[in-house]
Amino acid sequence: MAKALDGVRILDFTHVQSGPTCTQLLAWFGADVIKVERAGSGDVTREQLRDVPDADSLYFTMLNHNKRSVTIDTKNPEGKKVLETLIKTCDVLVENFAPGALDRMGFTWARIQELNPQMIVASVKGFGPGPYEDCKVYENVAQCAGGAASTTGFDDGPPVVTGAQIGDSGTGLHLALGIVTALFQRTKTNRGQKVLAAMQDGVLNLCRVKLRDQQRLERTGVMKEYPQYPNGTFGEAVPRAGNASGGGQPGWILKCKGWEADPNAYIYFITQAPVWAKICNVIGKEEWATDPDYATPAARLPRLKDIFAEIERWTMTKTKFEAMDILNKYDIPCGPILSMKEIAEDESLRKTGTIVEVDHPVRGKYLTVGNPIKLSDSPTDVTRSPLLGEHTDEVMAELGYSAEQIAALRTAGAI
């Protein structure tokens, strides 16, 4: 079946996590993604956190599906010429080198424009223009600089980074949207453009609600849905809110049966206002449905700690899955805390292609996360990541190089 991005060619100069997540998505939507790597070593993640000797790591394989790999020495003059040919024939160049690296290679925006005025040049950088624009950045730096760490964790503890890779994979998503938008605009202007997704900006975009709260705090000095209310104190900046849901519907993580031995025997429980009477019935506190101290959301706000303690007395008598079944019957929003083991074994995620088993010639079978975005007219088939330089000859031939020329470039160390 045809794919949404059929015919789009991507020169993929990405490495580590942020850039590769972006180009992997584009490949899943049908783009021909040609990953350019350094001969001999390739993307540094190929050998990071290896679990099978001499096999590309899961770090690499899980971020580089459906791509082709060519090895080109971009510092070799002949290698640069090959890159120029690639630039002329591709629609998008995606890179996440440290600031200035592409310019140092000789591929400035002006030079790329000269070679291909229609080319879209898409970059991930740690920071946008400003005091930190020259800094190298990894995931957790972005989480800290983008406002996620200062607002995550508990009030009496230090800032905490999240397991979700919002700095890397989050920015990769932002960049992918920028690229397809630029491709769309190009259909009208016939021109390329630069696309920049800074990791700090991407994280801040995902922390939008916390900037909202900063302004609410400055105006009113208090935020009633935060656990600091009514007993704690608010400072000048948005505090860490523990497991509070942060919206108009208070929520918290509660222990379930087996919590003493199982670190994930917990459920997220939301006391959504429209189902309050049902919650009272389920936990055996029918009187709370009409008691003026509990009957309205405003009355409940100063009592949330005690309310959740009471609900927890009930959840502790059920496993998280039993609680989920019972609560869902009454439309009470809740969610089990699933471990990665439980997610890996989840049959429904396998059926939808969100968890996929892939076979690799060196490492054998492994699990990966498939395309989380499902298009009805452009289904995703997840294919294994390429071996280092696996497609060098194939791509060189497509670019018009003869077997003799390819051999000569190889002897010269250019490819």
- The type of residue at 344 is A
H or E stretch covering 198: strand 194-198
The 8-class DSSP code of residue 301 comes to G
3-state class (DSSP) for residue 19: helix
- The CB-of-124 to ligand COA minimum distance in angstroms stands at 4
| 52 versus 101: smaller Cβ distance to ligand COA | 101
Q: Does 126 bind ligand COA (CB under 6 A)?
A: yes
Q: Nearer Cβ to ligand COA, position 203 or 311?
A: 203
**Site for ligand COA, residues 140 to 179, rule: CB under 6 A:** 168
Peptide bond into 230 cis (omega under 30): yes
Q: How many CA atoms lie within 13 A of 146 on its CB side?
A: 32
Q: Is 104 among the residues that bind ligand COA (CB under 6 A)?
A: yes
The alpha carbon of 412 is separated from its chain's Cα centroid by a whole number of angstroms, namely 39
Return the number of the residue (26 or 124) whose C-beta is nearest ligand COA.
124
CA-nearest of 373, 356, 353, 374 to 365 is: 356
Position 412 contacts ligand COA (CB under 6 A): no
9 is in an annotated binding site: no
Distance CA 414, CA 86 (A): 14
- Residues forming a β-bridge with 253: 268
Tell me which residue of 175, 173, 155, 156 sits closest to 164, measured CA to CA: 173
Closest distance of CB 74 from ligand COA, Å: 4
Q: Which stretch binds ligand COA (CB under 6 A): 30-38, 237-245, 319-327, 388-396?
A: 30-38
What mask of x and - would describe binding to ligand COA in positions 63 to 102, judged by CB under 6 A? ---------xxxx--------------------xxx--x-
CA distance 15 to 42: 9
Q: Which residue is nearest to ligand COA (CB)?
A: 98
Annotation-wise, does 97 bind a ligand?
yes
Pick the closer one to ligand COA by CB: 75 or 305.
75
Q: Please name the residue ranges forming H helices in 159-223.
A: 169-189, 199-206, 208-220
Structure tokens at 224: 């009633």
Q: Is 299 in the site for ligand COA (CB under 6 A)?
A: no
Find the helix or strand (DSSP H, E) in which 281 lies. Answer: helix 276-282
Residue 136 binds ligand COA (CB under 6 A): yes
**Active site residue: 32, 43, 168, 201, which one?**
168
Between 138 and 234, CB nearer to ligand COA = 138
Which of 4, 9, 38, 338 binds ligand COA (CB under 6 A)? It is 38
Spatial separation of the C-alpha atoms in residues 210 and 151, rounded to whole Å: 7
* Cα-based distances in Å from 116 to 7, 72, 86, 102, 157: 17, 20, 10, 16, 52
Establish whether 56 is a catalytic residue.
no
Binding piece for ligand COA, criterion CB under 6 A, among 135-143, 320-328, 329-337, 370-378: 135-143
Distances (CA, A) of 127 to 8, 12, 199, 326: 28, 21, 6, 47
Q: Which CB atom, from 3 or from 125, has the smaller least distance to ligand COA? A: 125
Q: How far is the CB of 17 from ligand COA (least distance, A)?
A: 4
CB 55 within 8 Å of CB 374: no
CB of 358 to ligand COA, least distance (A): 22
Output 22 or 256, the one with its CB closest to ligand COA: 22
Among residues 68, 125, 384, 391, which is the contact residue for ligand COA, using CB under 6 A?
Answer: 125
In angstroms, what CA-CA distances link 383 with 4, 65, 246? 17, 6, 39
- Measured from the CB of residue 31, what is the shortest distance to ligand COA in angstroms? 20
The CA-atom distances, in angstroms, between 348 and each of 114, 159, 315 are 50, 35, 25
Out of 105, 144, 253, 387, the only residue in the binding site for ligand COA (CB under 6 A) is: 105
Binding site for substrate, by residue number, is 247-249
Looking at the annotation, which residues are catalytic?
168
Residues forming contacts to ligand COA in the complex (CB under 6 A) are 16-19, 36-38, 72-75, 96-98, 101, 104-105, 124-126, 136-138, 168
Q: Which residues are annotated as a binding site?
A: 17-18, 38, 96-98, 104, 136-139, 247-249
Task: List, as residue ranges, the binding site for CoA.
Answer: 17-18, 38, 96-98, 104, 136-139
